Amino acid sequence: MARKRSHTRRSPRSNPRGRLDVRRGGYGFVQTAEGEFFVPGKKMRGAFPGDVVEIAPVNDERRYGRTPGKGERKRVARVVRVIERAHDELVGYFRHAEPFGVVEPVDPLIQHDIFTQLSEHPEIPDGAVVRVVIRMWPDRNTAATGTVVEVLGDEDDERVAIDLIVARHKLETSFSAEALVQAEAAEVEADGALAEGYRDLRDRFVFTIDPADARDFDDAVSIEPVGNGWRIGVHIADVSHYVPWASAVDLDARKRATSVYLVDRVVPMLPEKLSNDVCSLRPGEDRRTMTVDMQVDERGRVVSSEAYPAVICSNARLTYDEAQACIDGADGLGSDLQVRIRRLSHIAKQRDALRKEVGGLDFDTVEAKVRLDEQGYPIDIDLRVKTDATQLIEEAMIMANEAVARMLRDADFPCLYRVHEKPARDSLEGLVPVLQEFDWFKQVDAGLFMAGNLHAIGTVLEACKDRPEATLVTTLVLRSMKRAVYSPVLSEHYGLASAAYAHFTSPIRRYPDLVVHRMLRALLTKRPQKFDQEVSNLPMIAEHSSEMERVAEQAARESQEAKIVELLEARIGETFSAIISGVATFGLFVRLDNTAEGVIEMDDLGHEYFILDPVRHTLTGSDSGKQFRLGRRIAVRLVEADRRTRQLRFRLAK
């Protein structure tokens, strides 16, 4: 019997595949085993952002295209077919268009509306925010179709903007009934803990330092003089006692991988009974902890460390502002507490200096947090910068993280490490033409800098401090860095110049920390049931946790942006001082001092042609020679604040 021929035309060789990364200009990129390809908007064939696609080079692989906004020449390709869809549902605005109900995606990167039958949803008002399941994907001749499965609210509701972000990123907002039952049954049982072998540290002076708006308290510190040095204790909530592997709470937490801190709410990794009660290190209440004691000499060097389960009772809860006032010399906290805070701050400075001696990097960054009123309306933007008080806690946590990682490494025991690779050489090479324009760069060995030598990069960051070009240089160096990720395989943490590093100090809000707690407990006591099962899953946990960390950061950033845009709606027409944070073929990106970012379109720069130099990050007028450069400060006027797209548009101030 003759075999039927396939009607699908086969390529002489397999086409490259990869995940489609769509940009705001409507075009995209696909990173494949054969390199990166540029996909014009008209060549996407119904593919959505994040889809895994098969592509074919246009005509042949010798054809190149100019990448918008970058000036780089990349191979051009078209999407042949979608192999794996990243979206089976999306969130959008419901519009009446008889006889259809049309869902306009909130995500501006999705270029296709979803059509539904209006007769199926007559009760949904025009403009409602909905979640729609996609039934048929778009192609050359047909539109995408779907079914509305949930109405989230009205587009003008204050909470809906954040609800949209939650829905778009598919954040888990409810726990299973089994997980809630398990969490509600949790009790501290201090006497039972002591009978199990926990050490009684309730006579040790322990305290917490957190932001004023902190909602969970999973780390506490202590310090006592010992011999010629100090014993610093870092006491972390013993979450692993309440969340055993493969339990209902664990399955929910593993799926989330992290808590998500949005502008108006927290999407927690653990049920509230655990995160805000039993595992929260409240003052005056007994709590189970995993404690790491570190012996520190007079220079701040850790000479020995020990870990064990303990019962503590926190003596005080301080905010960063209260701790900073104490460091600055203010009285009022009590002499014992003041002495401890000032000594810890002194040791933190020593630790920071020691890390810089071996090349650890320190980027001065500013975190913006929008302050809301009781109804959820934005009223101001608070800028959080590094202080002695935040440094105190940061250094204590780094010490504990390194100590635990070393313990597990030296015992050849499984661990989920936090690793950070050095930047790619070509990323750093691209910065040299810009840096060579500054006299101080002559003091830097360019070869070492391009090779990723930590001391050379640190010299660059230190040399540009307090100079007009500081923002430009710091931004470029920071952008050249790779992301830190989780891995079951030991590797260095480049940015911290640490040979072994693990996240241990936040098990309430980060799943990898919970895993490290379990590994440490198994090392200190005995391996629990299903230990080998958990170890075999470490690669999957590492990959999933790294991905969910990126999702959480993106969602948190979008939530802040949404309220920043809403806040600035009332300030349209005002003039601001801004830093140019990006240059592109379509204009400039600018950043205000309050961290709000927006664009200046090319037409608003002047009535001439502007030439992009992607190497020096400049736009230069062809007639006037007027130049706009990354990092330059300019005056801008706000002309538009669009809540739906979370975009701000500016013009040059006259």
> For position 492, what pLDDT does the model report?
95
Q: Enumerate the β-bridge partners of residue 510.
A: 258
Question: Is the pLDDT assigned to residue 444 strictly greater than 50?
Answer: yes
- Span 549-559, pLDDT tens digits: 999 999 999 99
3-state secondary structure of 565: helix
The residue-averaged pLDDT of 632-644 equals 92
Q: Is the CA virtual torsion 232, 207, 268, 94 positive or negative?
A: negative
Question: Is the pLDDT assigned to residue 11 strictly greater than 70?
Answer: no
Give the pTM: 0.86
CA distances from 149 to 103, 124, 257 (A): 12, 11, 26
How far apart are alpha carbons 492 and 498 in whole angstroms?
A: 6
Q: Which of 500, 225, 495, 493 is nearest to 346 (CA)?
A: 225
> For position 509, what pLDDT does the model report?
96
> For position 87, what pLDDT does the model report?
82
Domains delineated in the chain: 17-84 (2.40.50.690), 89-156 (2.40.50.700), 177-418+488-558 (no CATH), 422-481 (no CATH), 572-652 (2.40.50.140)
Question: Is the pLDDT assigned to residue 266 strictly greater than 50?
Answer: yes
Q: Which two tokens stand for residue 184?
A: 């509600």
> For position 471, what pLDDT does the model report?
81
- Span 329-375, pLDDT tens digits: 887 777 889 999 999 999 999 999 999 999 999 887 788 999 999 88
Q: What is the mean pLDDT of the chain?
A: 90
Which pLDDT band holds residue 26 (cuts at 50, 70, 90)?
Answer: confident
Question: Is the pLDDT assigned to residue 631 strictly greater than 80?
Answer: yes
Q: Which of 484, 485, 308, 497 is nearest to 402 (CA)?
A: 497
Tell me which H or E stretch contains 231.
Answer: strand 229-237
Which pLDDT band holds residue 301 (cuts at 50, 70, 90)?
Answer: very high
- Span 517-574, pLDDT tens digits: 999 999 998 888 889 999 999 999 999 999 999 999 999 999 999 999 999 999 999 9
Helix, strand, coil percentages in the chain from 3-state DSSP, rounded to 5: 30, 30, 40
How far apart are alpha carbons 559 and 266 in whole angstroms?
A: 11
Question: Is the pLDDT assigned to residue 24 strictly greater than 80?
Answer: no
How far apart are alpha carbons 122 and 322 in whole angstroms?
A: 56
Which pLDDT band holds residue 419 (cuts at 50, 70, 90)?
Answer: very high
How far apart are alpha carbons 482 and 3 in whole angstroms?
A: 51
The residue-averaged pLDDT of 435-446 equals 90
Question: Is the pLDDT assigned to residue 212 strictly greater than 90?
Answer: no
Question: Is the pLDDT assigned to residue 465 strictly greater than 90?
Answer: no
Which pLDDT band holds residue 9 (cuts at 50, 70, 90)?
Answer: very low
Question: Is the pLDDT assigned to residue 5 strictly greater than 80?
Answer: no
- Span 37-55, pLDDT tens digits: 999 988 988 899 989 999 9
Question: Is the pLDDT assigned to residue 68 strictly greater than 60?
Answer: no
> For position 73, what pLDDT does the model report?
58
Question: Is the pLDDT assigned to residue 4 strictly greater than 70?
Answer: no
How is 320-338 classified by DSSP, letter by letter?
HHHHHHHHTT---S-HHHH
The residue-averaged pLDDT of 141-161 equals 85
CB 61 within 8 A of CB 38: no
- Span 72-85, pLDDT tens digits: 457 899 999 999 99
3-state secondary structure of 61: coil
Which pLDDT band holds residue 109 (cuts at 50, 70, 90)?
Answer: confident
> For position 13, what pLDDT does the model report?
59
CA distances from 52 to 32, 83, 134, 225, 518 (A): 10, 5, 17, 58, 35
The number of residues in the chain equals 654
Question: Is the pLDDT assigned to residue 272 strictly greater than 50?
Answer: yes
